[in-house]
C-alpha cells in the first residue's frame, strides 16, 4: 500500500511541472496592440538615447523631445494641423474617384470580354508606371493646383484596387456562381449579391495597397512640386521646414505621416476582423 502511494506521488510531480510549463506566457501570447505599442516605445527610447549619447548635431537629427514640442506647436498654431487636413482631404477625394473607376472597370471586365481586355491592357501599361512621373503632364493639362494632384493620386489608387478586385472575382467559388445563376441572378445583381461579398478579402487588400500608393504619391508630389493649393499640404510643410533648416518640424511632419499610417492600418485591420475574419473567409492573426 505504501509503495502504491509512493508511485502515485512520483507520477503527480511531472503533471504539475507540465501544467506550469504550458501556462507560461510568451511574447506571441500578448495582444497585438500592446506588443506593437511596446516596440514603438522601445524605438523612441533608442532614438532618444542615440541623440543624447552620440552628440549628433541637432541640425541633422532632432530628439524625440524636440519633435514632440514641434508637433505640439504645429497642431496648436494650426500650421501642421491644416497641412495634414489638406493632404488627407485630397487623398480621400482621390481614393473615392479611384474606387469608383476601379469598380466600373472590374464590373465591365466581369460582364464582357472586351471589358476584360481593356482592364488587362490598361493595367499592364499604367500600373508599373510611377504615378509621380505623370504629374508634370497633369500640371500642363490642369495647372499647378489640387486638380492635377487629384488626377495623379487617383491614377495611383485605381490600378491596385482594380487588380485585387478582379482577382477576387476570378477566384470566386464556381459553386457560388452556379447557385446565383440558378436562382435567377445575372448582370449587376450577380456582381452585387455574389461576386462583391465573395471577393471582399481581395477588395480590402486592394484598398490597403491603393491608399499606400496614393499616400506615397501625394507626399512625393508635394515635396517635389508643392502642388496642394495655396496653403500647402504635409509634403509642402516638410519641404518648407527643410528650406529654413527647422529640423524638428521636418521630423514632426514625418512622425505625423507615420502616425496616420499606423492609424489607417489599424482601421483596415478592424474592418477586416469584423468582416472577412468574423465570417470565416480568412483566418485571424
CA–CA separation, 236 vs 228, rounded Å?
Answer: 8
Q: Write the pLDDT tens digit of every residue in 250-280.
A: 999 999 999 998 888 888 888 878 776 666 6
Q: Give pTM, 2 decimals.
A: 0.77
pLDDT band at 13 (very low <50, low <70, confident <90, very high): very low
Helices (H), the chain: 2-22, 32-54, 64-76, 79-111, 113-126, 135-142, 146-170, 174-182, 187-190, 196-198, 200-225, 234-243, 247-272
Could you list the beta-strand ranges (E) of the chain.
none
Within 10 angstroms of residue 56's Cβ, the number of other Cβ atoms is: 13
Domain regions of the chain by residue span: 62-277
For residue 24, is pLDDT > 80?
no
Q: Write the pLDDT tens digit of every residue in 31-78.
A: 777 888 888 899 999 999 999 898 888 888 999 999 999 999 999 998
Is the Cβ–Cβ distance between 190 and 181 less than 8 Å? yes
56's CB contacts (< 8 A; 6+ apart) are 50
Tell which phi-psi region holds residue 191, choosing left (phi > 0), alpha (psi between -120 and 50) or beta.
alpha
Q: What is the pLDDT of residue 255?
A: 93
Q: Which fold has domain 62-277?
A: MetI-like fold (1.10.3720)
- CA angle 61/66/72 to nearest 5° reads 135
Q: Write the pLDDT tens digit of every residue in 150-199.
A: 999 999 999 999 998 888 877 877 777 777 777 876 677 777 777 777 77
Amino acid at each position: 500500500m505504501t509503495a502504491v502511494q509512493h508511485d502515485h506521488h512520483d507520477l503527480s510531480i511531472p503533471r504539475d511541472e507540465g501544467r506550469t510549463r504550458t501556462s507560461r506566457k510568451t511574447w506571441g501570447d500578448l495582444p497585438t496592440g500592446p506588443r506593437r505599442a511596446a516596440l514603438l516605445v522601445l524605438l523612441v527610447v533608442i532614438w532618444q538615447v542615440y541623440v543624447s549619447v552620440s552628440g549628433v548635431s541637432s541640425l541633422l537629427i532632432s530628439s524625440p523631445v524636440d519633435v514632440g514640442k514641434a508637433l505640439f506647436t504645429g497642431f496648436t498654431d494650426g500650421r501642421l494641423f491644416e497641412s495634414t487636413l489638406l493632404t488627407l482631404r485630397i487623398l480621400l477625394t482621390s481614393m473615392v474617384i479611384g474606387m469608383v473607376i476601379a469598380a466600373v472597370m472590374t464590373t465591365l471586365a466581369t460582364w464582357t470580354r472586351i471589358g476584360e481586355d481593356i482592364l488587362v491592357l490598361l493595367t499592364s501599361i499604367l500600373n508599373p508606371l510611377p504615378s509621380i512621373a505623370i504629374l508634370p503632364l497633369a500640371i500642363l493639362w490642369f495647372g499647378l493646383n489640387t486638380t492635377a494632384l487629384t488626377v495623379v493620386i487617383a491614377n495611383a489608387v485605381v490600378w491596385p484596387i482594380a487588380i485585387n478586385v478582379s482577382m477576387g472575382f476570378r477566384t470566386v467559388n464556381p459553386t457560388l456562381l452556379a447557385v446565383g445563376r440558378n436562382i435567377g441572378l445575372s448582370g449587376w445583381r450577380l456582381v452585387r449579391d455574389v461576386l462583391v461579398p465573395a471577393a471582399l478579402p481581395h477588395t480590402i487588400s486592394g484598398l490597403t495597397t491603393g491608399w499606400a500608393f496614393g499616400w506615397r504619391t501625394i507626399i512625393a508630389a508635394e515635396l517635389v512640386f508643392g502642388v496642394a493649393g495655396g496653403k500647402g499640404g504635409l509634403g509642402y510643410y516638410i519641404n518648407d521646414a527643410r528650406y529654413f533648416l527647422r529640423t524638428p518640424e521636418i521630423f514632426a511632419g514625418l512622425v505625423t505621416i507615420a502616425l496616420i499610417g499606423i492609424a489607417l492600418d489599424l482601421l483596415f485591420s478592424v474592418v477586416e476582423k469584423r468582416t472577412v475574419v468574423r465570417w470565416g473567409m480568412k483566418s485571424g492573426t
